[in-house]
Amino acid sequence: MKRILVTGGLGFIGSHTVVELQNEGFEVVIIDNLSNTSIGVLDKITEITGKKPTFYQIDLRKKEEVKNFFDTNKIDGIIHFAAFKAVGESMQKPLDYYENNIGSLVYLLEEMRDRKLDYFIFSSSCTVYGQADELPITEKAPVKKAESVYGNTKQIGEEIIKDACKAYNLNSIALRYFNPIGAHPSIKIGELPIGIPQNLIPYVTQTAAGIRKELSVFGDDYDTEDGTAVRDYIHVLDLAKAHIAALKRLINKTNKENFEFFNVGTGKGSSVLDVIKTFEKITGEPLNYKIVGRREGDITAAYADTTIANKELNWKTEKTLEEALEAAWKWQQQNKS
Ligand code: UD1
């Protein structure tokens, strides 16, 4: 049985991936510093799978602790989620973002090199494409200059991994996520935004729950069908499964290059108004929203061409936008805040 380290394994995407790994028979060891989640998630994972993953509260910026961990734990591969991810905050605190997102990545790769570990899955983002010239976005689309420090850490992260794979003969896959949403069907784990949500779906569900008065729709003058911006919203469970598919590709050595990257989206674009309409259908209530000006740094449209990921990873999404929003809504109702 392969023993997989999941960094950030108590976070939104990490926790869902841990569940899927356990369901697939992998043994999971989680490292999380609890900076953006709570230890309670560990119990929820255990409730879902019936197996408690091994857990270490370690901050990956502490090189000695990382080394110590690998000295005392036999690990076969790593899925690396742990990172800061708030776009706005990254502009205020660039060095924190570079230290955390890049520093921890380098330390992990050093351990991979020194201990000859072979599987490394990296959380990347469609933000590396910026506003792509052609839609849907294929993996062949060029990486554009990052709009945010957060986005830059993903671009630099991919570069670092690529160089390390080449020099030390490691194998890695970066998954470029589109917009992950939803919650586990058990409604035991989901997204836990701290403070005022920056992302659309938690803002929508909190508005419907009466926690926020009204949703601001950022711009209706985009060059899209209804004027609002278009994104590719992927159910977090489908996204979690993409990690298992990528890991198996590395384990089975069916990867074609040392370093590969894939788009992980549904292939379907939805506008902000599409999301609102679908959500209203689910709750049966109108959502309180108003159109306001564009948000700085937002792009017009991004949705994935998933042809390559579907074929190479032998993976495809199964859940609809409606199912994802329904899960997000149930999760919201259960959490109340
Ligand atoms: C952002 C990040 C992305 C990151 C993702 C998930 C950028 C450019 N984007 O994506 O890298 O992976 O978050 O954390 O770095 N909207 C509203 N009202 C709101 C909130 C959002 O209208 O209150 C709109 C936005 O303008 C956008 C869409 O909803 O058109 C989705 O926004 P959001 O959920 O924040 O995701 P992205 O900005 O696409």
pLDDT in tens, 10-22: 999 999 999 999 9
Is 150 a residue of the active site?
A: yes
CB of 85 shorter than 6 A to ligand 1: yes
Report strand pairing: 77-80 vs 119-125: parallel
* Omega cis (within 30) before 136: yes
pLDDT of residue 194: 85
Condensed to tens digits (0 to 9), the pLDDT of residues 202-222 reads 999 999 999 999 999 999 999
Q: Is residue 126 part of a domain?
A: yes
Inform me whether the pLDDT recorded for 104 exceeds 80.
yes
Instruction: Report the nearest-CA residue for atom 27 of ligand 1.
Output: 229
CA 282 / ligand 1 centre spacing (Å):
21
Strand order through the sheet with 77-80: 54-56, 27-31, 3-7, 77-80, 119-125, 172-177, 259-264
Beta strands in 171-321 (DSSP E): 172-177, 179-181, 215-218, 230-231, 233-235, 259-264, 270-271, 289-292
CB of 218 shorter than 6 A to ligand 1: yes
- Comparison of pLDDT for 240 and 193, the residue scoring more: 240
Instruction: Report the nearest-CA residue for atom 35 of ligand 1.
Output: 199
Inform me whether the pLDDT recorded for 336 exceeds 80.
no
What does the mean pLDDT of the chain come to? 97
pLDDT of residue 337: 56
Condensed to tens digits (0 to 9), the pLDDT of residues 151-194 reads 999 999 999 999 999 999 999 999 999 999 999 999 999 998 88
CA 246 / ligand 1 centre spacing (Å):
25
CB of 23 shorter than 6 A to ligand 1: no
CB 263 within 8 A of CB 137: yes
CB of 9 shorter than 6 A to ligand 1: no
Of ligand 1's listed atoms, the one at least distance from the Cα of 229 is: 30
Pick the catalytic residue: 119, 150, 203, 303? 150
CB of 48 shorter than 6 A to ligand 1: no
CATH (domain of 152): 3.40.50.720
Q: Report the candidate in 112, 84, 88 with the shortest Cα–Cα distance to residue 98.
A: 84
CA 44 / ligand 1 centre spacing (Å):
27
Q: Is residue 155 part of a domain?
A: yes
Q: Is residue 286 part of a domain?
A: no
Q: Is residue 154 part of a domain?
A: yes
Q: Is residue 325 part of a domain?
A: no
Q: Is residue 190 part of a domain?
A: no
Condensed to tens digits (0 to 9), the pLDDT of residues 75-102 reads 999 999 999 999 999 999 999 999 999 9
CA 200 / ligand 1 centre spacing (Å):
6
CB of 149 shorter than 6 A to ligand 1: no
Q: Is residue 138 part of a domain?
A: yes
Condensed to tens digits (0 to 9), the pLDDT of residues 242-284 reads 999 999 999 999 999 999 999 999 999 999 999 999 999 999 9
Question: Is-above-0.85 flag for pTM?
Answer: yes
Q: What is the mean pLDDT of residues 31-55?
A: 97
Print the domain residue range for 145. Answer: 3-184+234-265
Helices (H), ranges, the chain: 12-23, 40-49, 63-72, 87-92, 94-97, 104-115, 149-168, 200-208, 236-251, 272-283, 307-313, 321-335
Inform me whether the pLDDT recorded for 26 exceeds 70.
yes
Condensed to tens digits (0 to 9), the pLDDT of residues 244-254 reads 999 999 999 99
Q: Is residue 285 part of a domain?
A: no
Number of domains in the chain: 1
pLDDT tier, 36 (very low <50, low <70, confident <90, very high otherwise): very high
pLDDT of residue 335: 85
- Percent of the chain's residues with pLDDT above 90: 96
Inform me whether the pLDDT recorded for 232 exceeds 90.
yes
